[in-house]
Amino acid sequence: MLDTDFFRRWMSATAAAVDREADRLTELDAAIGDADHGMNMRRGFNAVCEVLEKEEPATPGAVLTSAGRQLISTVGGASGPLYGTLLRRTGKALGDDAEVTVGQLAAALGTGVAAVAQLGGARAGDKTMLDALLPAVEVLESSFGEAGDAALAGALATVPLRAHKGRASYLGERSIGHQDPGAASAALLVGALAEAGEP
Ligand code: ADP
Ligand code: MG
Ligand code: MG
């Protein structure tokens, strides 16, 4: 079972990974966007850590809804509302159980990812964060390690794709040959699950 503390560890492991990789995320965004993705993610997840310390949410669902709200209110770029929606909707789907199963988390994350697709209008292969999130959700129930690998593979597989959503899509064909920054950060988020601990 995954308790509230697991979800707090997941958020702080994500914040640490984003902090470590912020320069790389910004470099990826410099190639096909506006060079702010590392900064956006760092600002957002710093704020998430602060709010989780202050509010001490009592359930797994409350940790994620409060993290999501925080991302929406602190990150100006496209990634703020999208990641905010992902976490808020995942949290809402978890309800107010004090502990949840991996199966519940996998289903809830599926709901969150579907909400991201609806909000941003992107589909698999559009060269967005969804290309890391969708394959991760598929295997999350087997193991967090596998989900992290699937997200990473999905992020790397965005290199030859042409962007159809977000700033990178303005480049058209010139977006080909670069990894999508949001897919790279989504792989950090999924990778942080294993750091928070296999159940
Ligand atoms: P901005 O583009 O506003 O500067 P960021 O640089 O923080 O925002 O985030 C860019 C990332 O957001 C992209 O790499 C992509 O993964 C993701 N993204 C942008 N638009 C969409 C969308 N419509 N659907 C899903 N993801 C998107
Ligand atoms: Mg950007
Ligand atoms: Mg921007």
Task: Give the domain ranges of the chain.
Answer: 2-193
Mean pLDDT computed over 78-84: 97
Residue 5's identity, in one-letter code, is D
In this prediction, residue 85 carries a pLDDT of 98
Mean pLDDT computed over 23-36: 98
* Residue-wise pLDDT tens digits, 32-57: 999 999 999 999 999 999 999 999 99
Q: Whole-number mean pLDDT of the chain?
A: 97
In this prediction, residue 6 carries a pLDDT of 98
For residue 45, give every residue at least 6 positions away whose Cβ sits within 8 Å of its Cβ, in sequence order, or none: 11, 14, 15, 18, 19, 71
Give pTM, 2 decimals: 0.98
Question: How many other CB atoms are there within 10 angstroms of residue 55's CB atom?
Answer: 12
Cα angle value 140/21/62 (rounded, 5°): 50
C-beta of 130 in contact with ligand 1 (< 6 A): yes
- Domain boundaries 2-193, CATH class: mainly alpha
C-beta of 76 in contact with ligand 1 (< 6 A): no
Buried b (16+ CB within 10 A) or exposed e, 95-131: eeeeebebebbbbbbbbbbbbbbeebebeeebbbbbb
Mean pLDDT computed over 157-161: 98
In this prediction, residue 55 carries a pLDDT of 94
Q: Using CA positions, which residue lies closest to atom 26 of ligand 1?
A: 128
C-alpha 60 – ligand 1 centre gap (Å): 26
The yes-or-no verdict on residue 199 having pLDDT over 80 is no
